[in-house]
Structure 1
Amino acid sequence: MSFTVKKTKKKETSPVSPLNKRRASWSELWVNHHHHLLSPPPIAKSDLTLLLPDPTLLAIIAKVPSPHRKTLSLVCKRWSRLHGGLVRTVKLSDWGLLESGRLVSRFPNLDNVDLVGGCLNSGVVGLVSFTVGVGSYHQSLSFVEEERLLLLLSVDKVDSGLRALAAGCSNLRRLAVANASELGLLSVAEACTRLQELELHKCSDTVLLGVGAFENLQILRLVGLVSDIGLMILAQGCKRLVKLELVGCRGGFDGVKEIGECCQMLEEFTVCDHEMEPGWLGGLGYCENLKTLKLVSCKKIDRGPGLGECLSRCCPALERLHLEKCQLRDKNAVKDLFKMCEAAREVVLHDCWGLDNDIFSLAMAFGRVKLLYLEGCSLLTTSGLESVILHWHELEHLKVVSCKNVKDSEISPLLSALFSDLVELQWRPDTRSHLWLSLAEIGIGSKGGKFFKKT
């Protein structure tokens, strides 16, 4: 058997001429060169937070300490939206944020809004500051004098902002605003039925017509020229008031009496820098459930000749009398005040001018005092203090601070015996006092707990 092998010739390929090769387009070259730029970044593929639902991620963000939460809002739009839902308190300085709707859309769950700074048309620095959660309420600065120097926004502009706020914050619990009208307040009252605390600057009698529409209002602070008429309007509309503060107001006996008769739940009444009419103090006798009376920065307690027959009605439920930075030189006015508050169990006298031994002797009208706090009473002496507190058989807490004429060397044996029976004693009348150290060594004045009670 024979085989025939046929040898085949290998086909040779001729090289391609460079002229025949197709050039890549500029677009293809750009895509090939920048392919890594068009590809999604590796971090997006590893962002595990995308797998978490909003409630879970919201709970995680809420656990972050407050100072760092604002930084989290810069991560992405989703985190910014979730962070905005946590914000409850805002203090506004730029009114444009409110009018444009950006404030409400950014923070949809606000319940505490302070617009006083935003109502000023000049001298404003910054845009908006906020805190997460409902913080403790702190009193704003009084604008009774400042409003004469600063240009406030028009009433119409303020009302427009209030309508925008009411439309987006139905859960509002606290509001502070300046130069609003009764119509602007009515729009808030209709939409924000849960509002419990209201602070009004540059307030007048007519504005209080809108305040009465807040059915659940419990805390009210008025800064402005409110007269008896305004107090009567307020008394008829806000019968659930628990705390009332009047700053720079001009009410009198009739207005305070109406408040006492209509607002039977009123427990705390504060009067600051007042221009009240003579005899207003007598109206306090109709506040049957009043527990705390505070007078702050009052040049005169009462300019009247005396309360006379009004003294037959004292404040039966009063527990605390707080006087701070008040002028106590008018002996008749102080006598009437102490008589009106004779049921007080706690008496605080802080930086009151004119409180000498003669004026302080009127405090013997208090028969049931358990706590006395004296600070900055530079005219009071040791003998003046002793002459009063030895008559208080229920005294348990005593604090004397920065009363330079109260001396350790003048303490009598009777006063020393009283100190040993106290539940709490804080004795620092001046920088040279050594009594506190010696008392602390033997345990006197350490039976009780904290000096102050939370109210």
Structure 2
Amino acid sequence: MSVLEESPDSPLKKRPPRWSDIWLKKTKPLKHVVFAMQLQSLASKDPKSQTLIPHFANIDRTLLLSDELLLKILSKLPLSQRNPNSLVCKRWLNLQGRLVRSLKILDWNFLVSCRLVTRFPNLAHVDLLNACLFSPRNSEFRLTHRMVSMQMSSGFCSNWDLLEENLLPVGVVDRGLQVLANGCPNLRRLVVINASELGLLTLAEECLTLQELELHKCNDNVLRGIAACENLQILRLVGTVDGLYSSLVSDIGLTILAQGCKRLVKLELSGCEGSFDGIKAIGQCCLMLEELTISDHRMEDGWLAALSYCENLKTLKLLSCKRIDWNPGPDEYLGFCPTLERLHLQKCQLRNKKSMRALFRVCEAVREVIVVGCWGLDNDMFNFANVCRRVKFLSLQGCSLLTTEGLEAAILSWKDLETLIVVSCKNIKESGISPALATLFCNLKELRWRPEAKSFLSSGLVGSGMGRRGGKFFKRS
């Protein structure tokens, strides 16, 4: 017997198992991969076996990978490759659908036929705004708005609410919300228009993780359904949009909202009516509210005084408001927001001195003031900002009535000012810069100065050291 030949009783026959044998025994997909590699290697060495290559090439090697493993691989690819990857095969199409988290729906039938929830079962953000509009085909008229873009059945409407006759019925919208709630229980954000209390209640019961909601054409009754969304943190309510649709949100709805959604962090009220009582209820109940946005409001006089009840408010935004508060009441009833850090005014009409004085009194603890494209802000109006002694950041854009003297009168008392941005304010002239204002400029961390097109201040400051405090240099805009 040869020395290397194994006998039946030889101990060499019972070779201890190797680690690779144990590993391969419990990994069936990997054994297929190893076998395929060996088969390809043998086929490349033996010319007689070249016929195996075409047969082996037709095998989909990704079938050896589980769905979970293939999903991890596909999720690492860039977003630009998602659409091409979904065209590989049906399996990849389904897997790519499971990776989609955000979607804007344009076809309502895609939702109510359950194809949406079947194709994209893991949706977290859904926008139904355009899908809720009936857009007739072959129409000669097209409506374009910052919210929607759609074909119109006619060019004119008797009441000038152009979207009223093109909205899906409330019952149809509610049925779509029910399908969405049943198919996407992990929904976190939703945009919808013309829903009712019943549809939102269904959504609140099924989608417990819903945190952000944007509701158009809202009214007081609908807010009963929103109040059931206990985990809601971000909410945008649109009541009336001039020329598109009209709806009523009053103190009743705001009180219902405040008592139900106590975890709100951000709230935007657009085209809503209300008064002191509604804002007060929100401030007393929504203790976590940090950001409040008032857009195109239709509120009654005296609502500014209710802001003092928002004890944890950090950001106040007023957007496209035709008026602030024409009769805010006496100063002793105004109060102020002690935690407020940011005041943002954009495209508002600031023509009433009582309103501006009351606004700055309420916001006297603010650290950042941003004014963009507001009408009526002159020297007298801006002088009321003297009470805001903690301002560190000031940005003025498109304030055509404000002059250099008015700017100086307000900001010289701001000892903590670090950043100043002045853009497109044509009446602020470099020739009017006083020595005191120039000294203030030298102590800033950042200065962005372009009040008019022919501004040469930046070139004239070369070598002066202006704007070098804190290690940040002067920036040219």
TM-score range (shorter-chain normalised) is: 0.7 to 0.9
One-letter amino acid matched to 1:432: K
Structure 1 match to 2:147? 141
TM-aligned CA distance change 1:253 to 1:305, over 3 Å: closer
TM-score (structure 1 length as normaliser): 0.83
RMSD of Structure 2 on Structure 1 (CA): 2.3
Question: Partners in 2 of 1:141 and 1:275 — Cα distance?
Answer: 20
Structure 2 residue 395 is matched with structure 1 residue 373: yes
Aligned length: 397
TM-score (structure 2 length as normaliser): 0.79
TM-aligned CA distance change 1:404 to 1:221, over 3 Å: same
Structure 2 match to 1:153? 168
Deviation at 1:48, TM superposition (A): 2.4
One-letter amino acid matched to 1:166: A
TM-aligned CA distance change 1:336 to 1:437, over 3 Å: same
Question: Partners in 2 of 1:147 and 1:288 — Cα distance?
Answer: 40
One-letter amino acid matched to 2:105: L
Match of 1:310 among 333, 339, 342: 333
Greater shift, 359-368 or 145-154, is seen at 145-154
TM-aligned CA distance change 1:142 to 1:207, over 3 Å: farther
Query: Equivalent residue of 2:166, what SS?
Result: coil
One-letter amino acid matched to 1:87: V
Structure 2 match to 1:333? 355
Query: Equivalent residue of 1:235, what SS?
Result: helix
Question: Partners in 2 of 1:209 and 1:307 — Cα distance?
Answer: 34
Structure 1 match to 2:99? 86
One-letter amino acid matched to 2:321: C
Deviation at 1:105, TM superposition (A): 0.4
The one-character-per-residue Cα deviations of 1:178-219 (angstroms, maximum 9, x if unpaired) are 000111001111111011101100000000001111111011
Structure 1 match to 2:378? 356
Structure 1 match to 2:128? 115
Match of 2:63 among 38, 50, 60: 50
Structure 2 residue 312 is matched with structure 1 residue 286: no
Alpha carbons 1:247, 1:273 under 8 Å: kept: yes
The one-character-per-residue Cα deviations of 1:14-70 (angstroms, maximum 9, x if unpaired) are xxxxxxxxxxxxxxxxxxxxxxxxxx9868625322222222222222222212211
Question: Partners in 2 of 1:449 and 1:140 — Cα distance?
Answer: 37
Q: 1:158-173 residue pairs with structure 2 within 5 A?
A: 158-173=173-188
Deviation at 1:434, TM superposition (A): 1.5
* Structure 1 unmatched runs, 5+: 1-39, 126-138
Query: Equivalent residue of 2:405, what SS?
Result: helix
Structure 2 match to 1:258? 281
The one-character-per-residue Cα deviations of 1:302-357 (angstroms, maximum 9, x if unpaired) are 1326344322x211111111000000011111111111111111001100000111
Deviation at 1:140, TM superposition (A): 6.9
Match of 2:90 among 77, 80, 103: 77
Question: Partners in 2 of 1:68 and 1:439 — Cα distance?
Answer: 49
TM-aligned CA distance change 1:349 to 1:146, over 3 Å: farther
Query: Equivalent residue of 1:177, what SS?
Result: strand
Structure with max Cα Rg? 1
One-letter amino acid matched to 2:347: K
Structure 2 residue 208 is matched with structure 1 residue 193: yes
Match of 1:66 among 66, 73, 79: 79
Deviation at 1:235, TM superposition (A): 0.7
Structure 1 match to 2:424? 402
Match of 1:100 among 102, 113, 124: 113
Question: Partners in 2 of 1:438 and 1:49 — Cα distance?
Answer: 66
Question: Partners in 1 of 2:288 and 2:162 — Cα distance?
Answer: 32
TM-aligned CA distance change 1:307 to 1:69, over 3 Å: farther
Query: Equivalent residue of 1:250, what SS?
Result: coil
Alpha carbons 1:348, 1:373 under 8 Å: kept: yes
Question: Partners in 1 of 2:471 and 2:337 — Cα distance?
Answer: 28
Question: Partners in 2 of 1:152 and 1:450 — Cα distance?
Answer: 54
Deviation at 1:141, TM superposition (A): 2.4
Structure 1 match to 2:414? 392
Structure 2 match to 1:12? none
Match of 2:269 among 246, 249, 252: 246
Match of 2:297 among 270, 274, 279: 274
Structure 2 residue 241 is matched with structure 1 residue 226: no
Structure 1 match to 2:341? 319
Question: Partners in 1 of 2:426 and 2:389 — Cα distance?
Answer: 27
Alpha carbons 1:282, 1:307 under 8 Å: kept: no
Question: Partners in 1 of 2:70 and 2:350 — Cα distance?
Answer: 58
Structure 2 match to 1:18? none
Question: Partners in 1 of 2:472 and 2:57 — Cα distance?
Answer: 56
Deviation at 1:99, TM superposition (A): 0.1
Deviation at 1:282, TM superposition (A): 1.1
Question: Partners in 2 of 1:221 and 1:323 — Cα distance?
Answer: 18
Greater shift, 61-70 or 400-409, is seen at 61-70
TM-aligned CA distance change 1:76 to 1:57, over 3 Å: same
Query: Equivalent residue of 1:113, what SS?
Result: strand
Alpha carbons 1:172, 1:194 under 8 Å: kept: yes
Question: Partners in 1 of 2:147 and 2:418 — Cα distance?
Answer: 35
Query: Equivalent residue of 1:82, what SS?
Result: helix
Question: Partners in 1 of 2:268 and 2:441 — Cα distance?
Answer: 36
Alpha carbons 2:303, 2:328 under 8 Å: kept: no
Query: Equivalent residue of 1:337, what SS?
Result: helix
The one-character-per-residue Cα deviations of 1:205-247 (angstroms, maximum 9, x if unpaired) are 0000011111110111000121000000001101111110000
Query: Equivalent residue of 1:85, what SS?
Result: helix
* Structure 2 unmatched runs, 5+: 1-52, 139-144, 150-159, 240-247
Match of 1:210 among 199, 216, 225: 225
